[in-house]
Amino acid sequence: MLKKLKQHQFLFSELVKRDFARKYKRTILGMAWSILAPLMNLIIMWLVFSNFFGNNVNHYVVYLFAGQLVFSYFTDATNLGMNSLVGNAGIFTKVNVPKYLFLFSQNVSSLINFGLTLLIFFTFVAIDGIPFTWLFLLLIYPTVCLVVFNLGIGLVLSALFVFFRDMQYLWGILTQLIMWMSAIFYTIDSYNPMVQNLFLLNPIYLYIRYFRKIVIDGVIPTPQFHLLAAAYALIAFGVGAWMYKKYNHEFLYYV
Amino acid sequence: MKTMIKAEHVTIGYKIGDFKDIGLKEWVMRHLKRQYHVESFLAVRDVSFELMEGDMLGIIGANGAGKSTLLKAVIGVMEPREGHIERGGNISALLELASGFDGDLTVKENAYLRGAMLGYTRDFMDRTYDQILDFSELWDFADRPFKQLSTGMQSRLAFSIASLVQPEILILDEVLSVGDGAFQEKSAAKMREIISGGAATVLVSHSLSQIRELCNKVLWLHKGAQVAFGETQPLCDQYEAFLAGKLSIEEAGRA
Top residue of A94, A99, A101, A163 to mutate, by most chain B CBs within 10 Å, is A94
Tell me, what's the pLDDT at B94?
Answer: 63
Phi, psi (rounded to 5 degrees) for A188: -100, 10
Name the pLDDT band for B99 (thresholds 50, 70, 90): low
Containing structural domain, residue B108: 3-254
Instruction: List CB contacts of A16: < 8 A, sequence separation 6 or more.
Output: A105, A108, A109
- What is the overall mean pLDDT for chain A? 90
CB B22 within 8 A of CB A164: yes
Phi, psi (rounded to 5 degrees) for B176: -75, -10
Least confident of A35-44, B193-202, B210-219: B193-202
Pairing of strands B56-60, B169-173: unpaired
Tell me, what's the pLDDT at B95?
Answer: 62
Which tops the pLDDT comparison, B81 or B93? B81
* A156 CB-contact burial (10 Å; exposed 0-12 / middle 13-18 / buried 19+): buried
Instruction: Write down how long chain B is.
Output: 255
**CATH value at residue B191:** 3.40.50.300
Instruction: Give how far B163 is from chain A: nearest CA, Å.
Output: 15
Q: What mean pLDDT do residues A64-89 have? A: 93
Q: Report whether pLDDT(A234) > 60.
A: yes
Contact assignment for A18 to B102 by CB distance below 8 Å: yes
Which tops the pLDDT comparison, A30 or B233? B233
State the pTM of this model.
0.88
Instruction: Give how far A198 is from chain B: nearest CA, Å.
Output: 28
Q: What mean pLDDT do residues A49-57 have? A: 81
Tell me, what's the pLDDT at A67?
Answer: 94
Summarize pLDDT for A158-213 with one digit per residue, the tens.
Answer: 999 999 988 999 999 999 999 999 999 888 888 899 999 999 999 999 999 999 99
Summarize pLDDT for A84-119 with one digit per residue, the tens.
Answer: 999 888 888 888 888 999 999 999 989 998 999 999
Instruction: List CB contacts of B93: < 8 A, sequence separation 6 or more.
Output: A94, A95, B71, B75, B118, B162, B170, B171, B173
Instruction: List CB contacts of B179: < 8 A, sequence separation 6 or more.
Output: B152, B155, B156, B159, B187
H and E: helices and strands count for chain A: 12, 0
Q: What mean pLDDT do residues A134-140 have? A: 94
Tell me, what's the pLDDT at B96?
Answer: 59
Integer Cα distance of A84 and A57 in angstroms: 40
Summarize pLDDT for B202-237 with one digit per residue, the tens.
Answer: 888 888 888 888 888 999 998 888 888 988 888 888
- Kindly state whether B142 is in contact with chain A, defined as any CB-CB distance less than 8 angstroms: no
Least confident of A3-12, A60-69, B149-158, B210-219: A3-12
Pairing of strands B225-231, B217-222: antiparallel
Domains in chain B, number: 1
Contact assignment for A22 to B122 by CB distance below 8 Å: no
Report the amino acid identity of residue A186: Y
Summarize pLDDT for B145-177 with one digit per residue, the tens.
Answer: 888 888 888 888 888 887 777 778 888 776 656
Residues 120-149 of A with CB under 8 A from B: none
Q: What mean pLDDT do residues A10-15 have? A: 89
Of B100, B122, B125, the CB nearest to A94: B100
Contact assignment for A95 to B75 by CB distance below 8 Å: yes
CA distances from B253 to B229, B230, B246 (A): 10, 11, 14
Tell me, what's the pLDDT at B254?
Answer: 58
Summarize pLDDT for B169-193 with one digit per residue, the tens.
Answer: 888 776 656 667 788 788 878 877 8
Q: Which of B74, B52, B49 is nearest to B200 (CA)?
A: B52
Range B123-142 burial, b when 16+ CB lie within 10 A, else e: ebbeebbeebbebbbbeebe
Q: Report whether pLDDT(A156) > 90.
A: yes
CB B199 within 8 A of CB B91: no
- What is the overall mean pLDDT for chain B? 83
Q: Report whether pLDDT(A1) > 70.
A: no
Q: Report whether pLDDT(B97) > 60.
A: no
- Kindly state whether A6 is in contact with chain B, defined as any CB-CB distance less than 8 angstroms: no
| Predicted-complex ipTM score | 0.82
Residues 41-100 of B with CB under 8 A from A: 72, 75-79, 91, 93, 95-96, 99-100
CB A206 within 8 A of CB A71: no
Q: What percent of chain A has pLDDT over 70?
A: 96
CB B165 within 8 A of CB B92: yes
Least confident of A27-31, A158-162, A225-229, B26-30: A27-31
Which tops the pLDDT comparison, B99 or A72? A72
Summarize pLDDT for B37-87 with one digit per residue, the tens.
Answer: 778 888 888 999 998 888 889 998 888 888 888 988 888 888 898 998 988
